[in-house]
Structure 1
Amino acid sequence: MARRTATRGSALLTTLLVVGTATVAVPDPARAATPATVCRIRDGRLTEISGMVATDSGFVMVNDSADEASRRRIFFLDTRCAVVRTVAYPSRPRDTEDLAVGPDGTVWVADIGDNDRTRSTVALWTLSPGARRPVLHRLTYPDGAHDAEALLLDGAGRPVVVTKQGGSAGVYVPSGPLRAGATVPMNLAGQVRLPLTTTPNPYSFFGRRLVTGGATAPDGRSVVLRTYADAFEYDVTDGDVVAALTGGTPRIVPLPDEPQGESVSYSRDGRFLLTVSETAGQPPGTLPTVLRYARPATPAPAGSSLPAPTASDRAPTASGGATTTAPPDVDPRVGAGGTRSLLLGVGVIAAGLLLAGLVGVVRARRTRR
């Protein structure tokens, strides 16, 4: 989740992007259904919401790595978005970014954010029903540090972490059972490539490429990943979430113009997708609002082409063309497959320029130590 600073963009983002071949039809954002308002959150401790999950009694939410101790808690809300209780951590989390709830009611907190990619371990906290404190489980990546904001649970209750990076996002799973007080290595199980859309959002092109949250349907038969712009729902067969993400064709729900959308959940009856945005940096009086979107009915057909990119869909050019604002915590390490597809036909721009430009973006949120 990103905190704002006065500087959002950078003159170094001088990348000419040409959209290459596409194989998934994208719904027209202009025809996107208007979401229904579920409730508004008036508790001043919840302004940088990075994770949300719906429960039978309401919602569970977390902020990102907040400075104030009162914000670094697990928040339980009723169906009207009023906070009814909070749970503290036994030690300070680093950067909590997403939530999940297991079939037994265990709440999973994904402490996996790492904007600067310096963490030697990431963590998952589990809060069992009736427990007073969550339990810490540490994990390591097999290929260096990653920033991540999405947590899913597969049919066996195994956590699945999806990284926040452009192009192809990494899908990681623990190599064995989690153990309290121990560090478990993760394996790279595959990569997920999201279709490119034209949905308007605060970060334009970049906002459509970065995975900022995820959720598993109550019946386990589907999962959803979201970006700042859209939700992508995948069918799950036999509980195999990895296979769904790495080999499935998603259905797309545009989430246009959410101010800082990073959270997504299924409703408890599984009929809707729910989102909430943070409001830090928004106009005074803006309240975080839980929105409800209808789930898509059918998969997007293969073999269709994407609409041509408009000026607002292109990154800034050296000649001063269309401009955009990159998310403050954009991952500069675009996957190899994403680079080929997104920069197709750009023979004059070296990959190093893209890396330099993105690294030059001033990140508005730093991971707290």
Structure 2
Amino acid sequence: MRVPRVAVLVGVVAVVAALPVGVPALSGATPSGDVAVADVVPEPLCTPADPVLDELSGLAVLGGRLFATPDAGDDESVVELDSECAVVQRFPSPVDPYDVEDLAAGPDGRLWLADFGDNTAVRQTIALISLDPEDGSGELHRLTYPDRAHDAEAVLVGADGVPVIVTKSLFGASGIYRPVRGRTIADLGSPGPTALEKVGSLTLGPTDTPGGPIPGGSSTLITGGAVSVDGTVAAVRTYTDVHLFRVSDGDLAGALVSGPDLRIPVPGEPQGEAVAFTEHGDLLTGSETVTVGATTVRPPITMWPGVTALLDDRAVVDDPKTGTVDEEAGTGDATVPAVVVTAGIIIVAAAAGFAGWRGFRRRDRRRRVR
């Protein structure tokens, strides 16, 4: 979801004006200070130059091949990238989607497009769309929430094939959903729908990591997810951080409900939504392109090496800027001022509402997945 720049600027003014005198903004440890910060040094991988990825929303690695998808727009193809991030192949979506927000690699050797975007929370159904990267074939699998419509940008497919959706909540905890009775991607009807069940909730942040489009809210809004090739580590990201979860006994949903074990700050991504694991256990993150004045900023896809091994090593630091080791990570007591968080949430809601209205108007004339 692209947040209008005017809304971001208004948010900056509102949040700064709301800060009480003498209270530092976004400093020190996070309120969820029991989550240790991972000690990992990022390496720029490559920078996408093709305009199709100006709104990069999802990444996936399958069979050693790197795939990416943009947010819904004029070109909703899945693209394959080479080691320099050049597009080497395009795969049109097998089904005309409504709003694809994430991309997952399934244990079945297919890519799974998360057609979950719903800024205005009006959709009767959402969908997973399968895509065979060998021949471009695929199917539509409609899904229905058990409670009400939600906006979502994160899908994770476990090693057992069970897909898990994490919603993008502006207020309070995000919901964690999976197909009823733990159905796998192989069990999903086409076109469906298959009913979802809520298995829990997840709250991330706030953190003090810089970046993202919304001051005070970027570190709490969930924008993507991924699972390691062996299924033992899951990642859920916000605009500013990637949170890692140890998956025990293949229970992906249970791992998310239990909360994260480590956090990787991803500073400087202006609108980070994409995350994936390589087959070697490295983490990849990516951001949408942004325009500031007359300057277009194209962030690189960044690799964070050896991330899956971190959950075994428990290597943490208390200050990712200096690399100072903290043997008792997460014991800080400084918190983000509540007024900053509140102001940020209000701005997030206003900005997302405006963006959702524009997106709804844009897509109203297009055939919708129902």
The TM-score range, normalised by the shorter chain, is 0.7 to 0.9
Matched residue, 1:261: 272
SS in 2 for 1:45: helix
Aligned residues: 327
Unmatched 5+ residue regions in structure 2?
Answer: 317-327, 365-370
* Equivalent in 47, 52, 63 of residue 40 of structure 1: 47
Q: Distance in 2 between matches of 1:326 and 1:46?
A: 29
Give yes or no for contact 1:16–1:316 (8 Å, CA) kept in 2: no
Matched residue, 1:7: 7
Residue 201 (structure 2) pairs with residue 196 (structure 1):
no
Residue 219 (structure 2) pairs with residue 208 (structure 1):
yes
Residue 120 (structure 2) pairs with residue 116 (structure 1):
yes
Residues 85 and 95 of structure 1, relative CA distance in 2, 3 Å threshold: same
Offset from partner CA, 1:316-363 (integer Å, 9 cap, x none): 76xxxxxx6977xx4x5xxxxxxxxxxxxxxxxxxxxxxxxx489632
Q: Distance in 2 between matches of 1:52 and 1:127?
A: 14
Residues 90 and 292 of structure 1, relative CA distance in 2, 3 Å threshold: closer
Matched residue, 1:147: 151
Query: What is the CA-CA distance between 1:34 and the residue it aligns to?
Result: 5.2
Q: Which one-letter code corresponds to 1:2 in the other structure?
A: R
SS in 1 for 2:7: coil
Matched residue, 1:308: 335
| TM-score of the pair, normalised by structure 2 | 0.78
Q: Percent identity?
A: 34
Q: Distance in 1 between matches of 2:105 and 2:34?
A: 31
Matched residue, 1:185: 195
Q: How does 1:126-137 map to 2 (within 5 A)?
A: 126-137=130-141
Q: Which one-letter code corresponds to 2:138 in the other structure?
A: P
Give yes or no for contact 2:93–2:131 (8 Å, CA) kept in 1: no
Q: Which one-letter code corresponds to 1:36 in the other structure?
A: E
Query: What is the CA-CA distance between 1:58 and the residue it aligns to?
Result: 3.4
Unmatched 5+ residue regions in structure 1?
Answer: 318-323, 333-357
Query: What is the CA-CA distance between 1:181 and the residue it aligns to?
Result: 1.7
Q: Distance in 1 between matches of 2:14 and 2:297?
A: 32
Q: Distance in 1 between matches of 2:276 and 2:60?
A: 5
Give yes or no for contact 1:108–1:126 (8 Å, CA) kept in 2: yes
Q: Distance in 2 between matches of 1:288 and 1:21?
A: 29
Query: What is the CA-CA distance between 1:286 and the residue it aligns to?
Result: 3.0
* Equivalent in 349, 358, 363 of residue 355 of structure 2: 363
Give yes or no for contact 1:16–1:315 (8 Å, CA) kept in 2: no
Q: Which one-letter code corresponds to 1:278 in the other structure?
A: E
SS in 1 for 2:253: helix
SS in 2 for 1:234: strand
Query: What is the CA-CA distance between 1:65 and the residue it aligns to?
Result: 1.1
Query: What is the CA-CA distance between 1:249 and the residue it aligns to?
Result: 3.8
Q: How big is the alpha-carbon RMSD for the aligned residues of Structure 1 and Structure 2?
A: 3.1
Residue 246 (structure 2) pairs with residue 235 (structure 1):
yes
Matched residue, 1:167: 172
Query: What is the CA-CA distance between 1:201 and the residue it aligns to?
Result: 1.7
Identify the range of structure 1 (50-59 vs 238-247) with the bigger mean alpha-carbon deviation: 50-59
Give yes or no for contact 2:242–2:264 (8 Å, CA) kept in 1: yes
Q: Distance in 2 between matches of 1:108 and 1:25?
A: 30
Query: What is the CA-CA distance between 1:226 and the residue it aligns to?
Result: 0.4
Q: Distance in 2 between matches of 1:81 and 1:183?
A: 36
Higher helix fraction: Structure 1 or Structure 2?
A: 2
Query: What is the CA-CA distance between 1:212 and the residue it aligns to?
Result: 0.4
Give yes or no for contact 1:251–1:299 (8 Å, CA) kept in 2: no
| TM-score of the pair, normalised by structure 1 | 0.79
Identify the range of structure 1 (50-59 vs 7-16) with the bigger mean alpha-carbon deviation: 7-16
Q: Distance in 1 between matches of 2:136 and 2:78?
A: 11
Matched residue, 1:351: none
Q: Distance in 2 between matches of 1:207 and 1:359?
A: 12
